[in-house]
Structure 1
Amino acid sequence: MSAEARTEQTRAAILRAACEVIAETGFEKVRMRMVAERAGVSTAALHYHFATREKLFLEALRYSYDTTGSENAASVPPSEAPHSWRLARAIDDCLPGDTELRRDFLLWQELHLRAVRDPDSRSVARDLYANLRDWIAGIVRDGQGAGEFEACDVGRLADLIIALTDGYGARILLGASAMTMDDARDQIWAVVAPQLGLRTPVPAAGSRAAAG
């Protein structure tokens, strides 16, 4: 393995560890030493890659978004999946439905808190939300192009899906309202589907569990 490849491998290990520790502990309680121990590297190696806790946090968020998106995109070839399935899967991927997605959802909540007060975090939050909006809007436009979805304001629908998954996801995490993943999926789909001219229940194959 080349030195460059080892460097990238170490960096990825640090970012994965940071995602885990921040989701478990919360950003304010995280120390660089904790991340180094989880990643299996020295604190010197950690500081070589990330000079401050804040920079590590923001890079970890970008890493989480990029890697989760890549894994989900690769799971089912778009050409072989109905667009309604793809949209249902996107909704699932925005909810804390399994260990990985719960971790990612918690990272987003940490970002929300910091973005209110920190300009750098606010910039990252805007970029990530713009990417998320574009991803969902792309699925809807593809479905419209294929004649599967009716015409609608695509941007507004993408914003609505993000708002609904943020809200329902928070209720799932709180665990105080008996809100389940199935409840959230059904209720979000009941709002979204009519705007696309769909009159069928949320596709069961949209769930990550069903796809696995």
Structure 2
Amino acid sequence: MQAAEVVAERGFENTRFTDVAGRTGASISTLQYLFGNREDLVVQALRTRTAHLLAEARTAAGAIADPIERLRWVAGHLAATDGSPDAARAEWMLWVEYWRTALRDDELATESIGTYDGWASLVRDAIRAAVDAGLIAEPADIDAVAQGACALADGLGVQIALRRPGITWERATAMTRAWLAVTLNCPALIES
């Protein structure tokens, strides 16, 4: 996790063994032994952190019994997992590095598609729970709605990473919830 923080701060190209060793307390020789080269260290850090974020989200969403509250939480969590602006930006910087790296690494590209599908299934599962509870009508294309919510949140996340004025994690959360509320005809998603 600490290695991923270094990647988010410094970027793929500027992350060195020295930086990761300084953050983690591991020796450079240990990191070289474990990962072989700097690129593999960075890719593994990105893989581990993104998988951890998805697993955390699945656990947290699964613990929310009320289907509308679960859907509200998932919509908000897509935009940012932490209320602090610095933490939200750091998380989105990590995702941007993950995607940038995946564009040049076929194996990571395949994995990133799987990760993205995992986030879409988180949304789809939350929608399905609300449909099954009779709280919303089933959308004609539940996969398109789930993918759309993820795409919206990702676009807003890039804006958070860029520090675009007016696009805070709170605003991104509200916009993602509002989009789902309109798409699913469920005003309760935007009510607090």
TM-score where L is the length of structure 2: 0.85
Q: Distance in 2 between matches of 1:187 and 1:23?
A: 25
Partner of 1:183: helix, strand, or coil?
A: helix
Partner of 1:46: helix, strand, or coil?
A: helix
1:58 equivalent to 2:58? Answer no
Residue 8 of structure 1 aligns with which residue? none
1:162 equivalent to 2:137? Answer no
1:176 equivalent to 2:164? Answer yes
**Per-residue Cα deviation, 1:23-77 (whole angstroms, up to 9, x for no partner):** 1111110011210121101112112221222222222223212323344444476
Structure 1 unaligned runs (5+)? Answer: 1-15, 205-212
**Cα distance change, pair 72–131 in 1 and its aligned pair in 2 (3 A):** closer
Residue 92 of structure 1 aligns with which residue? 76
Q: C-alpha displacement at 1:130, in angstroms? A: 1.6
**Cα distance change, pair 20–137 in 1 and its aligned pair in 2 (3 A):** same
Q: C-alpha displacement at 1:157, in angstroms? A: 0.7
Mapping of residues 61-72 of structure 1, within 5 Å:
61-72=46-57
**Cα distance change, pair 116–186 in 1 and its aligned pair in 2 (3 A):** same
Quick one: which of 16, 24, 35 aligns to 1:39? 24
Q: Conserved in 1, the CA contact under 8 Å of 2:90 and 2:161?
A: no
Residue 183 of structure 2 aligns with which residue? 195
1:81 equivalent to 2:65? Answer yes
Quick one: which of 21, 40, 58 aligns to 2:6? 21
Q: Conserved in 2, the CA contact under 8 Å of 1:116 and 1:122?
A: yes
Q: Distance in 2 between matches of 1:25 and 1:61?
A: 13
Greater relative contact order: 1 or 2 (C-alpha under 8 angstroms, separation 6 or more)? 2
Q: Conserved in 1, the CA contact under 8 Å of 2:16 and 2:38?
A: yes
1:121 equivalent to 2:105? Answer no
Q: C-alpha displacement at 1:82, in angstroms? A: 1.9
**Cα distance change, pair 180–191 in 1 and its aligned pair in 2 (3 A):** same
The AA in structure 2 aligned to 1:29 is: N
The AA in structure 2 aligned to 1:200 is: A
The AA in structure 2 aligned to 1:94 is: L
Q: Conserved in 1, the CA contact under 8 Å of 2:78 and 2:173?
A: no
Report the aligned-residue RMSD: 2.2
Residue 210 of structure 1 aligns with which residue? none
Aligned residue pairs: how many? 188
1:111 equivalent to 2:98? Answer yes
> For structure 1, which segment, 41-50 or 116-125, has the greater mean C-alpha deviation from structure 2 after superposition?
116-125
**Cα distance change, pair 90–101 in 1 and its aligned pair in 2 (3 A):** farther
Structure 2 unaligned runs (5+)? Answer: none
**Cα distance change, pair 56–203 in 1 and its aligned pair in 2 (3 A):** farther
